[in-house]
């Protein structure tokens, strides 16, 4: 694995700083991982800031087509998502299957991240390629507090997926 990618993933600030100071490419990719994606996935806020401040591309994607904003949302790293947003990251950026940060956060029960994304104007009823919304994904994953928040914020309860499933169906099954 590339030393910069590995150090970023391990949270080794000093090593990352030293490698950057030698003039290494902060956007180096190793099997779909960049230092920024690695640091984001593992919740290393200070490294995310260091990498972006040194030219890391906030719109880079991993091998699954997910950008750092999507990864931060999926992992519940709200502080990283906030920083990426301040640096121009898009809270509506979609990945390979048109999942949004809100859909990822809701699916994983990342309540505070869901709350923050909604405050930023994330489209509560946006669908992925299967027609799933954040509410449907939270319901199907059994994240009751996330479901409650999405309902309080006006999520549509009757939007079926392309297969005819609705949040009500998943609520009944769970």
Domain ranges across the chain: 91-174
**Could you tell me what percent of the chain has a pLDDT over 90?**
88
What pLDDT shows up at residue 169? 77
Superfamily per CATH, domain 91-174: Ankyrin repeat-containing domain (1.25.40.20)
The reported pTM is: 0.93
What pLDDT shows up at residue 94? 94
Q: How far is CA 23 from the centre of its chain?
A: 29
pLDDT higher than 90, residue 172? no
**DSSP secondary structure letter of residue 65:** S
| Mean pLDDT, residues 104-114 | 99
């Amino acid at each position: 694995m590339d030393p910069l990618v590995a150090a970023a993933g391990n949270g080794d600030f000093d090593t990352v700083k030293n490698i950057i100071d030698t003039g290494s490419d902060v956007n180096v990719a190793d099997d779909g991982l960049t230092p920024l994606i690695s640091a984001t996935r593992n919740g290393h806020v200070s490294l995310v800031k260091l990498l972006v401040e040194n030219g890391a591309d906030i719109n880079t994607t991993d091998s699954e087509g997910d950008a750092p904003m999507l990864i931060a949302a999926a992992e519940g790293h709200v502080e990283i998502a906030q920083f990426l947003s301040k640096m121009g990251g898009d809270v509506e950026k979609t990945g390979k299957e048109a999942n949004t940060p809100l859909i990822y956060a809701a699916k994983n029960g990342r309540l505070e991240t869901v709350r923050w994304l909604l405050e930023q104007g994330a489209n509560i009823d946006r669908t992925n390629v299967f027609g799933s919304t954040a509410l449907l994904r939270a319901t199907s994953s059994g994240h009751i507090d996330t479901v409650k928040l999405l309902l309080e914020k006006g999520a549509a309860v009757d939007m079926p997926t392309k297969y005819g499933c609705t949040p009500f169906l998943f609520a009944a099954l769970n």
